[in-house]
Structure 1
């Protein structure tokens, strides 16, 4: 509900919590994980689906080539079932297995000490393309690319400003979609206070928070309101320093809610599950998910207001398909609202509860962002 009176900001949120994820490095070179069929319940792998006996020679050759092609993924912390960042990228890998018939493998990273051995394992296994997932894998990936110029890499959330020929950077301007989420949250809040927090203070996290803050600010400017944002001021904010601890997510969210926030956007992967638990336990408040449509990927649909989607699955699939077809080129892909690389998810159960006219306003804002008429960072 839009607020027409200025609300005093609650007391400052507690200082950022600190917990550094840790883990022992594997003692042996890890083995790649064999994948089940991409579609649960299928008796045959996707590549061996119903085939017409009159399939032409070109199609048969393409299938044979696909069967020899191996797409290998290295996850960031959180695992392929995190309901957010890693899982979204992993879904692109599974889609390639199902639709292209390629072999797929993955190695999960429990901590940063796993990055190097996981990379070395896949280098030794002669993968057709290696897909590291996450900003934290940049150094390991670029070193591997330099030492193995014939190996193709497509790294999620890392650019390629130097134009390394065997690296495709898959980046996303998530501030654009987060701007829309911030505007919508400002329109929907009943307390006049919304909140956000991150896992780590790194660019691929703060870009969401920047967009969210800018969207709230724009709502205030356009409507003469004073909705407040807790957890991020454009340069400093609340971080758990962790992408796995549900307890930290709960603790930060409870602090934000104690200070008046009734809509929370965690940018911390599975840590957001702790936010959901806090909101559900209190029986009030709404959640904004990131990376994927949280209404579809989590069990928190009853409190899911919307999501800031980063279409990593599509980008990963496209990179694999290009490599399979010998069309892979190093460089940089940037997902935007214009090319559907980022998007705001539907309001789902809250479609009929948002303020009148909000859908039209968001459509107009989306076009203004595409046209370059609005800045999506504060």
Structure 2
């Protein structure tokens, strides 16, 4: 028997539970809500819904739509990549009206389910079909833009002249952050005639450090410690829960090493590490997911690709929180100007991982 769900539940007045091995879910008859018969469903990647990053932010969008529209929620949490087809089938079996898959790794399972079930609407975070599918809404994010700001910030705040980054798995939604970060450091060096080094990623060669998954915090901590040993005093982990290991390494340095988080404002999602977080590269998956679900409820769904940018708020550099007084006013002004220059096109970002409108 394959155990494929850590949790399948309805938030609010409705609850859905899964019995053994893909049995159909049973609904609580004491349901309430304006659109209680409408089911909005989500399948996580292997990082799980409590990753304080990618999946958790996407899930917040589902929760917001449930609250806003009075609909029913069903979610399937994947423990490994092998669970994606099974979990997608479970959502189809649950008669979902819209299914949101969280992540590039669910691309194949989503495409197959969408083509086999044209009456169900789908949305996928960080992926787009090679050829548009009528009932699939791609949700992409140009996080290279805010990561460019983060690289500039890290270079400016470093005292050792070395900053480090590592990823979970080498896929475009990860390397796009690392590319932007490296380009931002390089821009700082050009502007200030400095030579800050980026450890852990060579964007020209597209090679660097990866833990091999998004789950293993110990690997993440060891990888970050490797960068710290080489002299990096600011760490930029792009690895979901494995990235939390990097924050643990930074916190264990007793003030010598700090970090910049990804996907969500780390001071909100991982508050225990706020003391070492200079900022975060935010990715507006919550708003994009909410909008996609609500478009189905309101019969306004379309399959055009959404791309989150600095201009539309789909990506952004988070507040500095405990570092606000430590970030010089001049640097804050420079970061604002970089944002404006990226939006205007004065600064162009080279990363090939940037999403392109379909």
Gaps of 5+ in 1: 1-25, 39-46, 49-62
1:345 maps to what in 2? 318
The separation in 2 between residues aligned to 1:236 and 1:277, in whole angstroms, is 24
| 1:326 corresponds to 2:295 | no
Render the CA deviation track for 1:254-288: whole Å, top value 9, x for unaligned.
10000000000000001111111111222121111
The separation in 1 between residues aligned to 2:345 and 2:125, in whole angstroms, is 25
2:127–2:140 Cα contact (<8 Å) kept: yes
- The aligned runs of 1:183-262 (5 Å cut-off) are 183-234=152-203, 235-262=206-233
1:368 maps to what in 2? 341
- The aligned runs of 1:302-321 (5 Å cut-off) are 302-321=275-294
- Offset at residue 239 of structure 1 (A): 0.3
Q: Report which of the two structures shows the higher radius of gyration computed on alpha carbons.
A: 1
2:11–2:72 Cα contact (<8 Å) kept: no
The separation in 2 between residues aligned to 1:142 and 1:236, in whole angstroms, is 29
Q: 1:324 to 1:32 in 2, by over 3 A?
A: farther
Render the CA deviation track for 1:43-90: whole Å, top value 9, x for unaligned.
xxxx96xxxxxxxxxxxxxx64x2111100000011111100000000
1:180–1:344 Cα contact (<8 Å) kept: yes
| Aligned length, in residue pairs | 330
2:269 maps to what in 1? 297
- The aligned runs of 1:18-37 (5 Å cut-off) are 27=2, 33-37=8-12
1:138 maps to what in 2? 107
- Offset at residue 28 of structure 1 (A): 6.7
1:87 maps to what in 2? 56
| Aligned counterpart for 2:74 among listed residues 78, 82, 105 | 105
- Offset at residue 37 of structure 1 (A): 3.3
1:198–1:206 Cα contact (<8 Å) kept: yes
Q: 1:276 to 1:28 in 2, by over 3 A?
A: closer
| 1:270 corresponds to 2:241 | yes
1:89–1:133 Cα contact (<8 Å) kept: yes
1:305–1:350 Cα contact (<8 Å) kept: yes
| Aligned counterpart for 2:90 among listed residues 121, 137, 140 | 121
Gaps of 5+ in 2: 14-30, 352-358
Q: Which has the higher contact order (CA 8 A, sep 6+)?
A: 1
2:6–2:79 Cα contact (<8 Å) kept: no
1:287 maps to what in 2? 259
Structure 1 residue matching 2:259: 3-state secondary structure: strand
- Offset at residue 202 of structure 1 (A): 0.5
The separation in 2 between residues aligned to 1:30 and 1:306, in whole angstroms, is 34
Q: Pairwise CA RMSD of aligned residues?
A: 1.6
Structure 1 residue matching 2:124: 3-state secondary structure: strand
- Offset at residue 35 of structure 1 (A): 2.9
The separation in 2 between residues aligned to 1:307 and 1:96, in whole angstroms, is 25
